[in-house]
Amino acid sequence: MEKYNDLHEKAVEKEKYLEEKTVIRIGTATCGISAGALDVKAAFEKELSANSIDAVVDEVGCIGHCYAEPLVMISRPGFPSLCYGNVDEGLVERLVKDYLLDDDPCYEYALAAVDPNDIFPTFDDFPRGVIEHKIILEQCGFIAPDNIDQYISKNGYSALAKALDMSPEQVLEEVKESNLRGRGGAGFPAGTKWEAATRNKENIRYVICNGDEGDPGAFMDRSILESDPHQVIEGLIICAYAVSATKGYFYIRAEYPLAIRRVRHALEQAREKGLLGENILGSKFSFDIEVFQGSGAFVCGESSALVESMEGKTGIPQARPPRLAESGFHGKPTVLNNVKTLAYVPHIISKGAEWFKNTGTPGSPGTAIFSLVGKVENSGLVEVPMGTTLRELIFEVGGGVPNEKSFKAVQIGGPSGGCLPESKLDIPIDFDSLSEAGAIMGSGGLVVLDEDDCMVSIARYFLQFTQEESCGKCTFCRLGTKHMLDILTDICEGRGDKESLQVLQDLSEDVKAGSLCNLGATAPNPVLTTLRYFRHEYDIHIEEKRCPSLFCPELIVYYIEPKKCSKLCNVCVGSCPTEAIYTRDDGLKAIEQEKCVKCDNCLKTCPPDYHAVIKLSPPEELSKKEAG
């Protein structure tokens, strides 16, 4: 503890100067960078230097409000710290001139204040803030991931110091007692898994952090690694101590270069401070961590496939038992945990198992992290107590469905999750309730769907993903999903028949039962849940050859209503990539159906005053319309 106290004091001292300075924090996780955060940073640096302003510009991670990227937080002594959203070079100029030079904080551009104050509402005053409860996202976006002193000054690594003063058994007991369940999908209790690894008396043991995150639309793990890598590193070191491992790995997909760079840098810094390597913090415990880059196959996130790929073999799942805890990497006992699971560990050690269990539900303590995407007003990364309902999550935290459209479904749990309708929105989010409803918690991908989404197409989309990602080892996974996909394609394209729905149902059960790993065993979930909750959409596609959501390209046509068209505006003509829209002799516009590729451009660009472009389904509706 003494060594840690020394590190902590030095870090606090080093970071103290920030309190007296203007600090501009720019969110540069991948979401921020893709929205232009690096240009914003360059613009601040240019403006500050042109105006000879002494301020610190820091790159931080993501605070989760991804819908408003690029995000900038300005902390200036004497003013409340304010967060600005959708910042561009113009706003930078304004903030520097009006705020930093003329003391006007430009409240009209501020999203929220960071800390309570008498002037401006904070994030906690938003309906989202009232529900959100941040444990592992708390420092994301507030500390610089490349600066270990910022982490340490906020008590980072104190849990490790505390753990090293405990026996490995006591640490293990605390994690077991907390009932921390794995956040990588299955919700298996972390303490039980760790304990299993200690039963094998081998003297070499490994711990691995699973940062593969292959679910389409999911970015929780990436964001945490990019925003607060030390939190996960600290969790992995504590895990290693509890199970007496000497070597650890981060398995991160190569498509996450920023996460890889930041984790590698954080590991170097931890090593320099004596938090990794020989005799950590002066204790008898020695341990080090390396980063292993995965090649990006979804199936490599599965535990046994991940280990195979780390051993240089093809990443294909293996039959179990033995489980990794008994015989994992190079045949040695291995603990594999998800990024989020490990991120909770320092908090549990610092504040205790009882504190952790005070949040969430008895069966699923703690919080749940979601990447909230799709048809939702405020997309981003959110952390809510387990037990929060889906309705609260989508409508209060996410701000509901935009553009006055109606909510249709939520797809939860990634490609192997399920689609739940409005009637299921009041179920609490936890591992057990979701699985009862036919969905799964998965790793936290959550896609909101509105009235324009076709549920048959959605099932098809997710099944196509898993079908393409199947390693091919099991016949049912390889061929069964292919057959299911063909049936769904037929239905979406107007060739479906009633009997095929029974085949779809039967195949789903067979694929579930006959697959070795959870990729196959859960692949039918989107199909089964859409059949259970949205059966009428399948029926309409089959019986009427019509897509009720006007989505499936083969079952719709675009039509320009002569009565509504302005004749003169011509916008749709310019927007059509295939020149399918022509001007009739009377000046009105019309669509040459053979040339139309259903890109939706004309519908999107026709000015709202006219709203002349509509979709018709089934395509036969067109002749009725044309006949007047």
Ligand X SMILES: Cc1cc2nc3c(=O)[nH]c(=O)nc-3n(C[C@H](O)[C@H](O)[C@H](O)COP(=O)(O)O)c2cc1C
Residues that bind ligand SF4 (CB under 6 A): 299, 317, 470-474, 477-478, 515-517, 519-520, 560, 565-566, 569-572, 589, 605-606, 610, 612-613
The two counts, helices (H) then strands (E), for the chain are 27, 18
Query: What DSSP letter does each residue of 160-193 carry, written as one string?
Result: HHHHHTS-HHHHHHHHHHHT-B-TTTT--BHHHH
> Closest Cα partner for 189 from 350, 332, 356?
356
Give 383: exposed, middle or buried? Use CB within 10 Å, 0-12, 13-18, 19+: buried
Task: Respond yes or no on whether the N-terminal peptide bond of residue 70 is cis (omega within 30° of 0).
Answer: yes
Judged by CB under 6 A, the number of residues near ligand X is: 23
Q: Are 190 and 180 in contact (CB under 8 A)?
A: yes
Minimal distance, residue 405 CB to ligand X, in Å: 31
Closer to ligand X by CB, 212 or 453: give it.
Answer: 212
Contact with ligand X (CB under 6 A) among 1, 186, 196, 427:
186
Q: Which one of 68-76, 168-176, 336-344, 564-572 is the stretch in contact with ligand X (CB under 6 A)?
A: 336-344
Tokens of 103: 């003391």
214 touches ligand X (CB under 6 A): yes
Q: Which residue from 303, 334, 457, 617 is in contact with ligand X, where contact means CB under 6 A? A: 303
Q: Does 139 interact with ligand X (rule: CB under 6 A)?
A: no
Per partner kind, with CB cut-offs from 5 to 8 A, the member of ligand SF4, ligand X, none near residue 214 is: ligand X
- The answer to whether residue 195 forms part of the interface with ligand X (CB under 6 A) is no
Q: Of ligand X, ligand SF4, none, which one sits near residue 156, judging by CB under 5 to 8 A according to partner kind? A: none
Residue given tokens 């916008």 in the structure block: 571
Per CB under 6 A, contacts with ligand X among 439-478 are 443
Q: What is residue 277's DSSP assignment?
A: B
185 versus 374: smaller Cβ distance to ligand SF4: 185
Measured over all CA atoms, what is the biggest interatomic distance in the chain, rounded to whole angstroms?
89
Q: Does 525 bind ligand X (CB under 6 A)?
A: no
Residue 315 CA to residue 82 CA, distance in Å, equals: 46
| Residue 472 contact partner, candidates ligand X, ligand SF4, none, CB within 5 to 8 A by sort of partner | ligand SF4
Identity of the amino acid at 583: T
Please name the helix (run of DSSP H) or strand (run of DSSP E) that holds residue 560, with its range, or none: strand 557-560
Q: Which of residues 280-299 bind ligand X (CB under 6 A)?
A: 298-299
Q: Decide: is 141 part of the binding site for ligand X (CB under 6 A).
A: no
Asked if 184 is part of the footprint of ligand X (rule: CB under 6 A), the reply reads yes
Report what 571 binds from ligand SF4, ligand X, none; CB cut-off 5-8 Å by kind: ligand SF4
Tell me the Cα Rg of the chain. 27
By CB under 6 A, tell whether 182 contacts ligand X. Answer: yes
* CA atoms of 170 and 609, how far apart (whole Å): 69
Q: Which does residue 569 touch among ligand X, ligand SF4, none (CB within 5 to 8 A, set by kind)?
A: ligand SF4
For residue 522, the minimal CB distance to ligand SF4 (Å) is 9
Residue 611: CB minimum distance to ligand SF4, A: 8
30-to-139, 236, 480 alpha-carbon distances in Å: 17, 23, 37
* CA–CA gap between residue 438 and residue 292 (Å, rounded): 34
Q: Which one, 212 or 537, has the nearer CB to ligand X?
A: 212
Residue 604 β-bridge partners: none
List residues near ligand X by CB under 6 A: 182-186, 188, 210, 212-214, 298-299, 301-303, 336-338, 341, 443, 517-519
